[in-house]
Chain A
Amino acid sequence: MPNCPTCSRASSRSTSSAEMVKGREGERVRLYVCGRILGYKRSKSNQYENTSLVQIEGVNTKEEVDWYLGKRMAYIYKAATKKNGTPYRCIWGKVCRPHGNSGVVRAKFKTNLPPKSMGSRVRVFMYPSNI
């Protein structure tokens, strides 16, 4: 599990990256569900990169996706140059709607996901919460 990325919007309430690392010296908690990026929304020979398809772990039917609608997700990746003191970078997005009947989800990100993200992990957070 990568060390706390500083890109997280929710935890950006005036905490520097150093402070964030310090705060996590205790137990690690996972408050997100892992997902896999399957690719872009596409038909046989056309793809629409503004929407990505994501498989959320443990979600196998269209009905189960209802809980995740609107939840924010983050694609986290590493880059060579350090920004804000950390090599980790992130692209934020959210779950838009189900895709098909088997629990795959359509997601839109702030900027389109890069093609190298296909097959990699995405974190689906539990907020904005409705419980």
Chain B
Amino acid sequence: MAPSKPRSKSRNPLLIPGIGKFSRSKMYHKRGIWALKAKHGGTFPRHDPKPAAPEPASKKPPKFYPADDVKTPVPNRRKPKPAKLRASITPGTVLILLAGRFMGKRVVFLKQLPSGLLLITGPFTVNGVPLRRVNQAYVIATSTKVDISGVNVDKFDDKYFAKDKKKAYKKSESSFFETEKQEKKLPQQKKDDQKAVDTPLIKAIEAVEYLRGYLGTKFTLRSGTKPHELQF
């Protein structure tokens, strides 16, 4: 018999949980066991049991029996999906950052990372915002778009932005007295990546009148402006 997929739905609909509509004999008929038996000469086909794995020679009794039966927690198989990107945010959109170190700055959106965060860049020389991740909720999408067809952002993912793990320093006498002054220098690789992304971007920005100045300016609310009436 060809291996068949197990049926997803039982042939015996439940009237009430625990009580099916059909009796055992009716189900026997519905499942077609009679046909299987007829096909295999009167008996239901069965295989010989697989030879059992030999028991380990010495099986020591466990040292510890828990006093009460502890319920094992059900494993969590839930995999959260990355946040759905708002329709107003497309690659090349100019975003306004609402919070954080660069709040108010207008930046260019590059792509959504697998974690759901948005990859943005100032560009750095225009407004000082480096390649950065930002959450959708802290961003307003404007209707201004920049052409980013010349930019290659494939190499960036969440691992690129992971913090370096602090080296576990050995607690020796000498290191105790030495002040750990690790200068946090930005690796040249990151500077190069920034340039590689920004150069084609800046070309596209220069092509549009006033866009460079626009990206260099911060967004701010003024007296009398009502955000719920603003058209971004």
Contact = CB atoms under 8 A, between A and B. Distances in A.
A67 interface: yes
A131 B220 contact: no
A31 B219 CA distance: 8
Interface size, B (range): 20 to 34
B103 A13 contact: no
Given A58-B226, A67-B227, A125-B98, A30 B221 contact: yes
Contacts of B222: 30
Contacts of B86: 130-131
A30 B227 CA distance: 12
A37 B100 CA distance: 25
A27 to B, nearest CB: 6
A29 B103 contact: yes
Interface string A42-55: 00000000000000
A66 B226 CA distance: 13
Contacts of A68: 228
B63 interface: no
Interface in B23-75: none
Interface of B: 86, 88, 98-101, 103-104, 136-141, 218-222, 224, 226-229, 232
A11 to B, nearest CB: 5
The 4 closest A-B pairs by CB, nearest first: A10-B99, A29-B104, A67-B228, A128-B137
Given A31-B103, A68-B228, A127 B88 contact: no
B99 A125 contact: yes
B139 A13 contact: no
Interface of A: 8, 10-11, 13, 15, 20, 23, 27-33, 57-59, 64, 66-68, 125-131
A125 B99 CA distance: 9
Contacts of A11: 99-101, 103
A59 B229 CA distance: 10
Contacts of A31: 98-99, 103-104, 219-221
A57 B229 CA distance: 12
A107 to B, nearest CB: 16
A31 B104 CA distance: 7
A13 B101 CA distance: 8
A30 B99 contact: no
Contact of A13 (B100, B140, B141): B100
B217 to A, nearest CB: 9
Contact of B228 (A15, A30, A59, A127): A59
B227 A33 contact: yes
Given A125-B98, A125-B99, A30 B220 contact: yes
A12 B92 CA distance: 28
A123 to B, nearest CB: 11
A33 B221 contact: yes
A127 B138 contact: yes
Nearest to B231: A131
